[in-house]
Amino acid sequence: MLCAAACGSRLPESDFEQPATTTAPAAPPLRIGIIASATSPVGGDTFTGPGDGARAYFDVLNSRGGVGGRRIQVESCDDGGSGIGNTECVRELIEEKKVFALVATTALDYAGARLVSAAGVPDIGGQPIGTAYDTYPHLYGIYGSLAPRTGGKSAKPGWNGTLYGGTEVYRYFKRAHGARTAAVVSYNQASSASYARLTVQGLRAEGYTVVEEQVDFALPNFRAVAADLKEQGADLVFDAMDTHGNAQLCKAMDAVGADVTAKVTNVQNWSATVADDYRDAPRCRNALWVTGGSRNYDDKDDPRVREFRTALQGSLKRSGRSERALSQWQLEGWAAAMWFTDAALSCGDLTRACVERHLDREEPYTARGLLLPVGYAPTPAPPTERRTCLSVARWKDGTGWVTQGEMTRNCFTVPQLPYRP
């Protein structure tokens, strides 16, 4: 996992568009807030990845003089995974710490989103676990949105409460692997169930036979689910669960002999800890596939990925954490910090309005190729179809996550299906 010297020991000057400096900045620091559900009920470190990546980027940025000579001062807050805790974090960071912006927000319950929007504080590159980034102005999730985002006390997400999702993931597996039967496993928890409903709808639109499975969040019976998957003959298994749930499901699948073409998981589980997390499920582990909207953090041949890995490993080492624990969410947090920095550097006079003009521009943002094009140009009417690309990787023991095709060419024109979260 460790990069050799050839990977590069520092980021190039062009990334920050300003010269390095060894003198302390004369200007006051620029305060940036990072909210994470670090101690949520889902488990420790589940939601810390994006913040790790953002801090690593800001560390490098500060070593080069910050933004316009202003050092980035990161103000962190753990909301505990609760709505009340999240609202308290928002108030603390905005009213007490006076942060200029939020970056890489990763909240299980983003109850304070309306307050962030009302205060006009840009929230850049957050993980869209709920619907906040499709609801409120001034909030910019890492994957973009075409929704109007009108906000307000009675705000509804998307287009009057309806969101839209594409079928590109299911199209990919149908064409690349000839899959026909797919199972969808979720928790009986609102966000998980909502994501599962969209997955089921998309699979059916692509002609799959769908097997729906739901487990109790507190007392899941994964062995019963695995037995049913085997009986139903599923080619693919999709999930709307955390890493622990996926590992337990895989263990149960190996135990009952439920072999599948692909166990497809989500970006949250795209990490280097797979070998440990799935140590009791070798067959299922080597059937793990993942899709997303960002370049594979394990793609060591890509120079931008190497730069991220070198900086992130150094940051983790300084904080006393394992240098091997890299993840896709960390890369996306890095990209979120880059997005904020590029927006800030576009301003002669640094203001929130100027930063948001950069975020709202028509030209999509790619974080220099780390993200598939991200935009926030709202459309009055929802799209009926879109050409959409996806990043795909497969786990292989001894190698890690292996990229499956160039993400900018894994593209399909697919229908956009309505759903109510």
pLDDT in tens, 364-375: 999 999 999 999
pLDDT in tens, 219-278: 999 999 999 999 999 999 998 888 889 999 999 999 999 999 999 988 888 999 999 999
Q: Is the pTM of this model over 0.75?
A: yes
Residue percentage of the chain with pLDDT more than 70: 93
Q: Measured at the alpha carbon of residue 303, what is the angle toward residues 71 and 264, in degrees to the nearest 5? A: 100
Averaged pLDDT for residues 7-31? 55
Q: Is 394 left (phi over 0), alpha (psi -120 to 50) or beta?
A: beta
Angstrom distance (rounded) from CA 223 to CA 37:
29
Angstrom distance (rounded) from CA 395 to CA 415:
29
DSSP helix/strand/coil, 243? helix
Averaged pLDDT for residues 336-354? 97
pLDDT at 14: 46
pLDDT at 44: 66
User: What is the band of 40 on the pLDDT scale with cuts at 50, 70, 90?
Assistant: confident
8, burial (CB in 10 Å: exposed 0-12, middle 13-18, buried 19+)? middle
Q: How many CB atoms lie within 10 A of CB 218?
A: 9
Q: Shortest CA distance to 323 belongs to which of 305, 334, 310, 304?
A: 310
Position 304 pLDDT exceeds 80? yes
2, burial (CB in 10 Å: exposed 0-12, middle 13-18, buried 19+)? exposed
pLDDT at 244: 86
Angstrom distance (rounded) from CA 341 to CA 316:
21
Residue with tokens 């006009």: 120
Q: What single-letter amino acid sits at 252?
A: A
User: What is the band of 3 on the pLDDT scale with cuts at 50, 70, 90?
Assistant: very low
Which structure tokens are listed for 210? 């769908």
Averaged pLDDT for residues 277-291? 95
CB of 185 within 8 A of CB of 239?
Answer: yes
Position 4 pLDDT exceeds 80? no
Angstrom distance (rounded) from CA 339 to CA 322:
26
Higher pLDDT, 151 or 331: 331
- The residues pairing with 348 across neighbouring beta strands, listed in sequence order, are none
Angstrom distance (rounded) from CA 203 to CA 184:
9
Q: CB neighbours of 210 closer than 8 A, spacing ≥ 6?
A: 181, 182, 183, 184, 200, 203, 204
User: What is the band of 123 on the pLDDT scale with cuts at 50, 70, 90?
Assistant: very high
